[in-house]
Amino acid sequence: MKKTVVFHSNSSRIFTGFGKNMKNVLRYLYKTGKYNLVEFANTKYKDSDELKTLPWKGFGTMPEPAVVQALASDQTKLRAVSYGHHEIDNLMKEIKPDFYIGIEDIWALAPLTEKKWWNNNCMVWTTLDSLPLYQDAIKIIPKVKHYYAWASFAGKEAERLGHPKGSIKTLRGSTETSSFFRLKEEDRTALRKEFGLTDEFIIGFVFRNQLRKSVPNLIQGFKKFKQDNPKSKAKLLLHTHWGEGWDIAKLIKDNEISNDDVLTTYFCKKCKQYEIKKFSGQKIACKYCDGKDTVETTNITNGVSEEQLNEIYNLMDVYCHPFTSGGQEIPVTEAKLTGLITLVTNYSCGEDFSTEESGGMPLSWKPYYEPGTNFIKATTLPESIAEKIERVYKMPLEKRLVMGKKARKFVIENLSAEVIGKQIEEIIDNSSTVEWNFESDFIPRNPNHIPLDTEDNVAWVTDLYKNILRMTVDENDEGLKTWISQLNKGVTRDQILSYFRNVGAKENQQNNKIELSDLLDKDDLGRRILFVMPQSAGDVFMSTSLLPSIKKLYPEYNIYFATKPEFNELLNGNPHIHKVLHFTPAMENLLTMEGHAKGEGYFDITFLPHLGTQKNYDYQHNGIDKIQFNLLSSHALT
């Protein structure tokens, strides 16, 4: 019988490193015919039409849009949703796989190791790229039998910290080798001519425009190289989206570099053609199909095909990839396949790809501490960039070609989809049968929590995360930072508290795993009264005038007040209320709340003053020792 294997990562249809790796590995394994393959695609909705056309099963991990919209203001929750945490339990229970492989950032995978279904047939395949290693990455080592990182960097550091050798093994991200290769010289010349290029020396960089990509350093290094080699006719080709991350146009201007010397890739979403030229804005007309506003710089949504990207690499004379840190950097391996010498920052995964054996050269760097996280990051030296570009520029063509062939061989032997796919095959095939536990491990939220009494905003919001949403955050958490920023802008604590309570209540309702008995104090010996008033603000407020009389009649009983979370603040500090509960429709059933005989229900007495019809019981209580009266009659309590 075929094993069912789940791959959980970026969608195989998007142009990211994780997405490309997902596509490469799934294609390889699909061709073997050995497995029932299932793709869990982050950032895609569960029943996305796009995923229905895959040759294997595909499910998005995003909940319905209404849930996403409700969480839009909380970056912590939203990030968890984008990593699939909201739907992963339901999907795992539905698919019941034999093997699970999570391919994501470690902060997306570490929380999953706490799931009840996590076992020895679950694999972490992640990118660890900075020192010190992320603390959760170290904590989960004992829980993960199959623990792999894309670069050797992480395994060496784990071993240095005293963990057994092989605690974190190396399994590189896969590269599609058939799509990338060096074109014939006449084809390269013709390609250059198409974009108005002749004998210019072109330095290329293919990257997602993230701040960890050291664009300012590269531009400064490029400027120095041009100054030192004025006859080089050098051009810098930045294949990226200029609409996110670094303001590249401003960096060019600030460094007094001519716009003509910096090229980029434009792509038409209508006709799928690309063009290499200097930057001239976004959403411009297409010269190929006359499309209006259809052309912009390449991006992960509208980008070039593998064949087109191969042509773009072939326009380059050298490839330069400076960064602060990285898990592997797929463009580096693609560039090597096209026979380019690669200049890579000698830190993190760069240690593997800047060696002579890999057809690369190391870029020198200095360490700095990343604000907020204190991770050690690399700032690549512009002088080193200029020096290594010059070394390649002055290198005889024959030697460049020899190094380029070495680079291609390194990738084929170490990173091809076939090599990586075969290693994954062995991991899956050698796995044993295990028992899976798909019971929900949802931790009940507590929307009734009374916030910490403190003037410290950080401590106050941290307490809401911990005691209402049952989440642990630290001062570096993006969600926490967002709420502190909102407080500084004038948003009130009551507004934020209301948001947290609503989210907690909704999550309890969605998971439907909350037992009322779990919310009741065990030390009140069953002497409990439930007062139910779901809404509205006026009714809730006025109904509190009845509580002193109830307490006078039943001094030894604890009064539980049930209402919707948005009205909790009206009850804060009321001396007659023992605890506020989140209202659910079940609380309107008198017989359920009190039971059919003494001692069977949750409460001794339940008052439902908001229900005043013959259809619903609102005052009949079982047990002869219970006083029967209607709170709607004011004299009943006098």
Does residue 588 carry a pLDDT above 90?
A: no
pLDDT above 70 for 95: yes
Domain total for the chain?
A: 4
- Tell which residue, 227, 283, 290, 279, has the closest CA to residue 252: 279
Pick the residue with more confidence: 268 or 600?
Answer: 268
For residue 580, what are the contacts with CB-CB under 8 A and spacing of at least 6?
Answer: 448, 560, 561, 562, 563, 568, 571
Asked if 41 and 59 touch (Cβ cutoff 8 Å), the reply is yes
Domain assignment present for residue 566? The answer is: yes
Tell me what the mean pLDDT of segment 608-621 comes to.
56
User: pLDDT at position 633, please?
Assistant: 37
Question: Rounded to an integer, what distance in angstroms lies between the CA atom of residue 72 and that of residue 136?
Answer: 26
16-30, 144-158, 560-574, 617-631 — which is least confidently predicted?
A: 617-631
290-303 mean pLDDT: 92
Is the pLDDT confidence value at 429 over 50? yes
The whole-angstrom separation of Cα 465 and Cα 343 is 44
Predicted pLDDT of residue 614: 41
Q: So what's the pLDDT on residue 244? A: 93
Q: Are 451 and 463 in contact (CB under 8 A)?
A: yes
How many residues are there in the chain? 638
Q: Find the mean pLDDT for residues 482-489.
A: 89
Residues 170 and 184 in one domain: no
Nearest to 464 by CA among 486, 479, 478: 479
Confidence of residue 46 (pLDDT cuts 50, 70, 90): confident
| Tokens 């007659």 -> residue | 576
Instruction: Read off the pLDDT band of 267 (50, 70, 90).
Output: very high
Mean pLDDT score across all residues of the chain: 89
Question: Is the pLDDT score of 40 beyond 70?
Answer: yes
Same structural domain for residues 93 and 51? yes
* pLDDT at position 635: 33
444, part of any domain? no
Look up residue 310 and give its two tokens.
């191969």
Do 61 and 460 touch, CB atoms closer than 8 A?
A: no
Examine the domain organization and report whether 560 and 505 are in the same domain.
no
> Does any domain span residue 445?
no
Q: Higher confidence at residue 502 or residue 463?
A: 463
Same domain, 505 and 620: no
Residue that the structure tokens 């508290």 belong to: 497
Residues 525 and 378 in one domain: no
Based on the fold, state whether residues 489 and 583 are members of the same structural domain.
Answer: no
Statement to judge: residues 271 and 397 lie in one domain: yes
pLDDT for the residue numbered 624:
34
Q: Determine, yes or no, domain membership for 437.
A: no
pLDDT tens per residue, range 278-287: 999 999 999 9
Q: Is residue 127 in some structural domain?
A: yes
CA distances from 556 to 520, 527, 550, 566, 610 (A): 16, 7, 11, 29, 25
- Examine the pLDDT at 41 and tell me if it is beyond 50: yes
Angle at which helices 330-337 and 397-414 cross, to 10°: 120
Q: Is residue 93 domain-resident?
A: yes
Most confident of 131-145, 391-405, 572-586: 391-405
Rounded Cα distance, 443 and 440, in Å: 9
Q: What is the CATH number of the domain that holds 60?
A: 3.40.50.11930
Residues 6+ apart with CB under 8 A from 190: none
* 395/471 same-domain check: no
Over the stretch 324-345, which tens digit does the pLDDT of each residue have?
Answer: 999 889 899 999 999 999 999 9
Do 139 and 18 share a domain, yes or no? yes
Q: Taking residues 30-48, what's their average pLDDT?
A: 94
In the predicted structure, residue 347 carries a pLDDT above the cut 90:
yes
How sure is the predictor about 531, in pLDDT bands with cuts at 50, 70 and 90?
very high
Residue from 608, 624, 606, 628 nearest 616 by CA: 608
- pTM beyond 0.75: no
Domain co-membership, 265 together with 224: yes
Instruction: Tell me which residue of 340, 342, 344, 328 sits closest to 415, measured CA to CA.
Output: 328
Could you tell me if 235 and 332 lie in one domain?
yes
Range of the domain at 574: 519-637
Helix 397-414 × helix 417-429 angle, to 10°: 20
pLDDT at residue 590, rounded to an integer? 76
pLDDT grade, residue 189 (50/70/90)? very high
Q: Which helix H or strand E contains 26, and what residues bound it?
A: helix 17-32
Task: Summarize the confidence of residues 613-627 as an average pLDDT.
Answer: 45
**C-alpha distances out from residue 109 to 142, 203, 576, 617, Å:** 14, 36, 45, 50
449 falls within a domain: no
What's the pLDDT at 515?
64
For the chain, what percent of residues have pLDDT higher than 70?
A: 93
337 & 486 share domain: no
Strand order in the sheet with 122-126: 57-62, 35-45, 3-10, 99-102, 122-126, 146-149, 169-170
What is the distance between the terminal CA atoms of the chain, rounded to a whole angstrom? 75
In this prediction, residue 356 carries a pLDDT of: 94
Query: Residue 439: inside a domain, yes or no?
Result: no
